[in-house]
Amino acid sequence: MSGFYSAGHLTGPQEPARPDGLYGVSKVAVEALGRLYADKFDLSVICLRIGSFELMPTEPRHLATWLSPRDAVGYIRAALTRPPSTRFVTAYAVSANTRRFWKLPDASELAYVPVDNAEAHAADIPGDFPTDPTGVQAGLYAEPEFTLKHLRS
């Protein structure tokens, strides 16, 4: 939900959502629904913004966005065991990737520190990681054609 922030910007969940496509827009809507239920019905809602959930990173962008299975379990466990007094938290669920685009959650928000790093797999990933810090985090997903092809079906 941060696709239009620059790749050189470490984005936090409190910044305005900038989805790069229709899927991202739907995630923003679901977070808003979670906020409504937290505020209106006093429910505890934890929104995890899940990165690229894969066994291993397989493309250059994953060096920033990868979420390992082990870290996914850690984030989910932390979200499920938050005190019921927690009303609403949004956190990026991403591994401890050296090149990540997103801020890791503070311990006060979510008591989990990721352990895996996509950098350990960098030599096995074909292609080059985009190095332009002024380019957008979404890369090609931010291009108009990426969204338009889904609307033409």
- pLDDT digit string (tens) for 85-104? 889 999 999 999 999 999 99
Q: Is residue 153 part of a domain?
A: no
pLDDT for the residue numbered 151: 81
Quote the number of domains for the chain: 1
- pLDDT digit string (tens) for 112-146? 999 999 999 999 999 888 778 888 898 888 888 88
Q: Is residue 111 part of a domain?
A: yes
Catalytic, out of 5, 23, 37, 75: 23
Return the number of other C-beta atoms located less than 10 Å from residue 133's C-beta.
Answer: 9
Q: Is residue 135 part of a domain?
A: no
Q: Dihedral of CA 92/18/11/122: which sign?
A: positive
> pLDDT confidence of 47, banded at 50, 70, 90?
very high
Q: Is residue 51 part of a domain?
A: yes
pLDDT for the residue numbered 111: 93
> pLDDT confidence of 149, banded at 50, 70, 90?
confident
Q: Is residue 145 part of a domain?
A: no
Query: How much is the average pLDDT of 7-26?
Result: 93
Query: How much is the average pLDDT of 64-84?
Result: 95
Query: Known catalytic residue: 23?
Result: yes
| Average pLDDT of every residue of the chain | 92
Range of the domain at 44: 1-126
pLDDT for the residue numbered 138: 86
Contacts of 143-147 spanning 24+ positions with Cβ under 8 A: 146/20, 146/21, 147/21, 147/22
Asked whether 95 and 116 are in contact (CB, 8 A), the reply is yes
Q: Is 44 exposed, middle or buried (0-12, 13-18, 19+ CB in 10 A)?
A: middle
Instruction: Read off the CATH number of the domain in which 89 is found.
Output: 3.40.50.720
Q: Is residue 147 part of a domain?
A: no
Q: Is residue 131 part of a domain?
A: no
Number of helices followed by number of strands (H, E) in the chain: 4, 4
> pLDDT confidence of 70, banded at 50, 70, 90?
very high
Q: Is residue 83 part of a domain?
A: yes
pLDDT exceeds cutoff 90 at 74: yes
Backbone angles phi, psi at 49, to 5 degrees: -90, 95
Residue 45's SS3 state is strand
pLDDT exceeds cutoff 70 at 153: no
